[in-house]
Amino acid sequence: MTTKHATGDRRSGTIRVLTERERQLLQDHLLRLDPQSRRDRFNGVVEDEFLIKYSAGCFGEGVVVLGYIEDGQVHAAAELHAPQRSADETPEIAFSVERDLRRKGVGSALFKALIDEARKAGYPRLRVTTGAQNDAMRGLARKFGTKLTFRHGELSGSIALDTGRRPVAPAGIAMPFAAGGGMLQAIAGLSLAFWTSVLRLYGLAPTLSEPRRKPH
């Protein structure tokens, strides 16, 4: 599915699934994220080396990556990770939006497109996890019907797709999104449970600002 999106400031782009041949575009996008955006996205401090290795692993089996593309560059992305990559066997989602595109409806448009992809894959629910300090992601998650709960230094919740308000678009049909000036944007962190599998895969751990506490 390809979606056109106008930001309301004379900019417009396309949202679509990225292929493995476009891995460099995702890598370049992640490397452009400012320090706070990286912290929000990954729930911790990460260096360039980690982002390069991470982006290389985003096109394996069980992962769908959507990109917001302007002038041949990815400036925002949404990831859908299959259930087998999650500790509780619920598909996990994550978002990253570059600073100059925040509050322009890009995050909401990506969220809607990702829900469509999840429905097409037959997933009944999605897991949303973010750092407690990420107010933008909290607002975006709640906008789409996610009830978040606080536990071990992070917010987590799930969204049921079988009662979604928006139908899945037929494959190959472009659906325009209205410009969303003022819409909440988000850069969601992956859950620490998912991080465990990522770190094992690449052998490179980020320095988390608030290490997760062990359950009592």
Is-above-0.85 flag for pTM? no
Residue 183 has pLDDT above 70, yes or no: no
**Domain count within the chain:** 1
214 domain residue, yes or no:
no
126 domain residue, yes or no:
yes
CATH classification at residue 156: 3.40.630.30
Residue 188 has pLDDT above 90, yes or no: no
28 domain residue, yes or no:
yes
Structural domain of residue 43, as residue ranges?
3-166+175-202
128 domain residue, yes or no:
yes
216 domain residue, yes or no:
no
26 domain residue, yes or no:
yes
Mean pLDDT, the chain, integer: 75
Which of 2-11, 67-76, 200-209 is least confident? 200-209
pLDDT > 90 fraction of the chain, expressed in percent and rounded: 36
pLDDT > 70 fraction of the chain, expressed in percent and rounded: 68
The per-residue pLDDT for range 128-167, each reduced to its tens digit, is 887 777 777 777 777 777 777 777 777 778 888 864 444 4
212 domain residue, yes or no:
no
215 domain residue, yes or no:
no
Question: Which residue, chain included where needed, has tokens 């692993």?
Answer: 57
